[in-house]
Structures are given as C-alpha cells and as structure tokens.
Amino acid sequence: MRVIGLGSGRRGKVTESLVRMVLESTGMDHDFISLSGKLVRPCEACNGCVDTNTCVLPDDFSAIAERVQGADGLVFGAPTYWARMNAKGSAFWERLCFSGRHSELFPMKGMPAAMVAIDGSDGTGEHVLADTKRYFADARLDVVGHVSAQGEYACFTCGLGEECSVGGFHTLYGEGISIAPERIPSMDNQCPHLGDGEGAIRGRVLRDAARRLGERLARRIQSRPRRSPDAP
C-alpha cells in the first residue's frame, strides 16, 4: 500500500516539510510530489473530460493526477496566498474534481486523506483548510484530519524585509527589528513573533500533531476494505 504526499508550496519549506512528516509518520511506503515548478493550468471548463473522466489539457497535471488517484491514501498540503489556497494547489483540485465527477465516477471515493494548511501569519491555515475541505468533499475523500502551521513569508529572504512596511516581516514584528534566525518560522520555531519561547513550544506541539495525524491516516488506510483491481 502506498501513500502519496502532494504539496503546492515551495521546495524545502514548511508546507513540504510538514506533508513529508505526516507521510513518514504513516510508516507506509510513500512518495512526495511537489507542484512547485510544474505547469498545472486552471480548469478551462472545456468538457473534454466528460466521456473519459480524464483531463485533456496538455501540461503536467495528468501524470500527477494518475499517481494521486492510484494511491491508497493522500496527504495534501498548500500555503495561503491572499486568504485562499494558492492558485497552483487550487488549479490542481479544480481539474481533479471536475474531471472525476462526470457520470458520478469519483475515482478517489473513500480514499483516506489528510490536510496540511500553511499561512504566514498565525499558523491556523484557516483559509486553506476551508478550501481543501470543499475539494476533498467534492472528490468524496474520507477526511482523516488536518494539521496547520505557520510558514516563512518570502519577505524574510527578499532582501527588503526589514524596511518594507507592507511586507510579512513587518506585519509580524513591526519597525526596527532585524531578521535573525530565531525570528524565522520553521517546523521547530512556530510563531516566534509571540516571544517567551513560544516558537520552540509550538514547534514541539506541531511535530506531535503531525506524527499523530500520520498514524491515524495509516490506521484508516489499513482498515479500509481492499479495492478489487476489477472494481469500476
């Protein structure tokens, strides 16, 4: 049995790290697919998928969708862009959900799936969670749970973060503060802007939550009746 991790954040950053941690905590065979650098256009509503339940747009989507649909379980993670799931993640789900639903096929129906939701601000990932829930419900996935975290605004490394008053670093820390390693959010340093050693405490809580989510996902996958290879 194989679990697929799919992430629409940057390579090596918090979205990917957290998806990977949930995956590893399943203790099952797994693969991680990053949408970063891949071309996944939004749905054109061309109806080219109606007869075959397969999207006809010629980009990287179809090969990824095939691997996701063939898995026994899924961990999906996305960052928040403009109070929504980022466009790359959303484009993927637009096409997966639309191509799968004609004639009520729902190729991933009942597949156990876990959600990973990242933002740059308070670590609740609330907008990504809301969007992911809608897509998971439409795809008829079996939602096992979620884990949310704070990621690193690109403003931490853009070179202007300490001066730019409309950037993410200023939003968190305000004027006159330098960008130092202990102020950068990571898996082990969650919401460090809160001070009082909160970053390390929340980091431990996050790792614990990710571990438990992975274990729960594995139990759900293992308790699911095996699919017959001939099943429609």
Return the number of the residue (9 or 214) whose C-beta is nearest ligand FMN: 9
In this chain, which of 63, 83, 130, 200 binds ligand FMN, going by CB under 6 A?
83
| Euclidean distance between CA atoms 109 and 144, whole angstroms | 14
Alpha helices in the chain (DSSP H): 14-25, 61-69, 87-101, 126-138, 168-173, 198-223
Q: Which stretch binds ligand FMN (CB under 6 A): 136-144, 150-158, 203-211, 216-224?
A: 150-158
Rule CB under 6 A: say whether 37 interacts with ligand FMN.
no
| Euclidean distance between CA atoms 228 and 220, whole angstroms | 18
Rule CB under 6 A: say whether 15 interacts with ligand FMN.
yes
Three-class secondary structure of residue 6 per DSSP = strand
In this chain, which of 37, 51, 82, 225 binds ligand FMN, going by CB under 6 A?
82
Shortest CB 137 distance to ligand FMN, Å: 23
In this chain, which of 5, 79, 192, 203 binds ligand FMN, going by CB under 6 A?
79
Rule CB under 6 A: say whether 85 interacts with ligand FMN.
no
Give the number of residues in contact with ligand FMN, rule: CB under 6 A. Answer: 18
Q: Which stretch binds ligand FMN (CB under 6 A): 10-18, 20-28, 61-69, 106-114?
A: 10-18
Return the number of the residue (167 or 224) whose C-beta is nearest ligand FMN: 167
| Euclidean distance between CA atoms 13 and 32, whole angstroms | 14
Shortest CB 59 distance to ligand FMN, Å: 21
Contact 3, 71 (CB under 8 A): yes
Shortest CB 153 distance to ligand FMN, Å: 5
Strand pairing category for 84-85 and 73-81: antiparallel
In this chain, which of 3, 14, 64, 65 binds ligand FMN, going by CB under 6 A?
14
Query: DSSP letters of 126-187?
Result: HHHHHHHHHHHHHTT-EEEEEEEEE---GGGTSS-TTT-TTSHHHHHH-TT----GGGS-BT
Tokens representing 170 are 């200023």
* Residue 34 Cα to chain centre, angstroms: 10
Q: Which residues bind ligand FMN (CB under 6 A)?
A: 9-10, 13-15, 79-83, 118-121, 151-154
